[in-house]
Structure 1
Amino acid sequence: MAIKSPFTGRVKSISEHPEPFFRFATLGPGISVELTSHNIIAPFDGTLLQVKNAGKEYILQAKNGLKVLLNLSFSSVEEHINHTNIAKLNGSKISKGERLAYFDLRELSSPMLGTLCVLNSQHLGPLYYSLSQVTAGVDTLLTVTKK
Structure 2
Amino acid sequence: MSLRVGSPVAGRVVSLSAVPDPVFSQAMVGPGVAVEPSRGPSDVVSPVDGTIVTLHPHAFVVATGDGAAVLVHLGIDTVKRKGEGFTLHVVKGESVRAGQPVVTWDPAEVEAAGFAPICPVIALDASAEVLADLATDVDVKAGDALFTWSR
Q: TM tier, shorter chain?
A: 0.7 to 0.9
The count of corresponding residues between Structure 1 and Structure 2 is 141
Contact 2:85/2:105 (8 A) holds in 1: yes
Sequence identity percentage = 25
After superposition, give the CA deviation of every residue in 1:40-78 in whole Å (9 maximum; x if it has no partner).
1011211000113xx11101101221111111124x88x
- Secondary structure of residue in 2 paired with 1:112: coil
CA distance in 2, matches of 1:124, 1:2: 15
Cα distance, 1:105 vs. partner?
3.3
Letter in 1 for 2:135: S
Which of the two has greater strand per residue? 1
Match of 2:121 in 1: 116
Distance 1:120 1:144 in 2: 12
- Mapped pair 1:144 → 2:146: no
Q: Which residue of 1 aligns with 2:49?
A: 45
| Equivalent pair of 1:50/1:58 in contact (CA under 8 Å) | yes
Tell me whether 102-111 or 10-19 shows the greater mean CA deviation.
102-111
Tell me by how many angstroms 1:126 deviates: 3.4
Report the Cα offset of residue 123 of structure 1: 9.8
| TM-score, length basis structure 1 | 0.84
Paired amino acid for 1:119: L
Q: Distance in 2 between matches of 1:46 and 1:8?
A: 21
Gaps of at least 5 residues in structure 2 are none
The one-letter amino acid paired with 1:128 is D
Between 18-27 and 128-137, report the one with greater CA deviation: 128-137
